[in-house]
Homo-oligomer: A and B are copies of this chain.
Amino acid sequence: MKKIAVDAMGGDYAPQAIVEGVNQALSDFSDIEVQLYGDEAKIKQYLTATERVSIIHTDEKIDSDDEPTRAIRNKKNASMVLAAKAVKDGEADAVLSAGNTGALLAAGFFIVGRIKNIDRPGLMSTLPTVDGKGFDMLDLGANAENTAQHLHQYAVLGSFYAKNVRGIAQPRVGLLNNGTESSKGDPLRKETYELLAADESLNFIGNVEARDLMNGVADVVVADGFTGNAVLKSIEGTAMGIMGLLKTAITGGGLRAKLGALLLKDSLRGLKKQLNYSDVGGAVLFGVKAPVVKTHGSSDAKAVYSTIRQIRTMLETDVVAQTAREFSGE
């Protein structure tokens, strides 16, 4: 039985979206057990599942504007903190939250704990490509600064994930850089390039540019946390901006445009679905001792469901334990 600790109180639509996602997941996956941390009365309003689910009541929760590290330290009974502690204490195998990202990262670092020999766990997501296959990118912002050694570890971690969870036999690893030539970049990129090229366990394909990510130029893209964060947010902002402009173009285009949009509805819905990250799950804090997964703050029940499915796959393939063995040299 895979035990998943769920912070029921984090995110814009908590606890409803969280609990409804859990209901669906429990009904589809008979090999998971869910512990819901949060306000029992509120959770019960939405909980329809009756088996393999328990509620651990707490009144406290971390807010989206709480200072992360302080919140983790001071709100000892917050739903997110209790969920992370359950993993530390061996009562659960993974944590899921839609709450304060910084606080979840802090809970991952300080409560769940780093894997031995992994210096800086990184935040990783599967992002969309035009062919629908997606690519994994890390670090998306768990760190503001990284060394070449960290980036090398991200390449190994990302490859492990792509192999085990996404079933890609030889994941193509690219280093995000300001040009494709091997001589490109600042000293950090040049040093990282050498490390990745020298590591024969990796299928390193060289430097990749942000322009080509959505075309699926690599399966795993390695970046420092600052740049990765900027790229992720650029992709999100541009996608939202264009979809907004598209909507304005249609609604502002008069009857003719509205009729056109009506005819195009199914196609446009398909496009939106393709751009929607939530189908592939949440962002994984990779490099800590158990899956710590952040689903978007605006997640609906379906996104929560997808993230539980992702966690289930991570537990089934034992990707974190394998990573730990690899890095500890056992």
What is the oligomeric copy number?
A: 2
- Is A233 a contact partner of B249 (Cβ separation < 8 A)? no
The contact string, 1 if C-beta is below 8 Å from chain B, for chain A 106-144, is 000000000000000000000001100000000001001
- Is A239 a contact partner of B237 (Cβ separation < 8 A)? no
In angstroms, Cα B256 to Cα A265, docked, is 10
Partner of A186, one of B178, B187, B226: B226
- Is A244 a contact partner of B185 (Cβ separation < 8 A)? no
- Is A144 a contact partner of B264 (Cβ separation < 8 A)? no
- Rounded to whole Å, the gap between the CB of A144 and the closest CB of chain B is 4
Instruction: Answer whether residue A48 sits at the interface, using C-beta atoms and an 8 A cutoff.
Output: no
What B residues does A235 contact at CB under 8 A? 234, 237-238
- Is B263 a contact partner of A185 (Cβ separation < 8 A)? no
Could you tell me how many residues of chain A have their Cβ less than 8 Å away from some Cβ of chain B?
Answer: 62
The contact string, 1 if C-beta is below 8 Å from chain B, for chain A 269-281, is 0110011000000
Not counting A210-B229, A234-B235, a sample of 8 additional A-B residue pairs whose C-beta atoms are within 8 angstroms of each other reads A144-B186, A186-B226, A214-B238, A230-B231, A245-B274, A246-B246, A249-B271, A260-B267
Q: Which residues of A are in contact with B by a Cβ distance under 8 Å?
A: 129-130, 141, 144-145, 176, 178, 184-187, 189, 209-215, 223, 225-227, 229-246, 248-250, 252-253, 256-257, 259-268, 270-271, 274-275
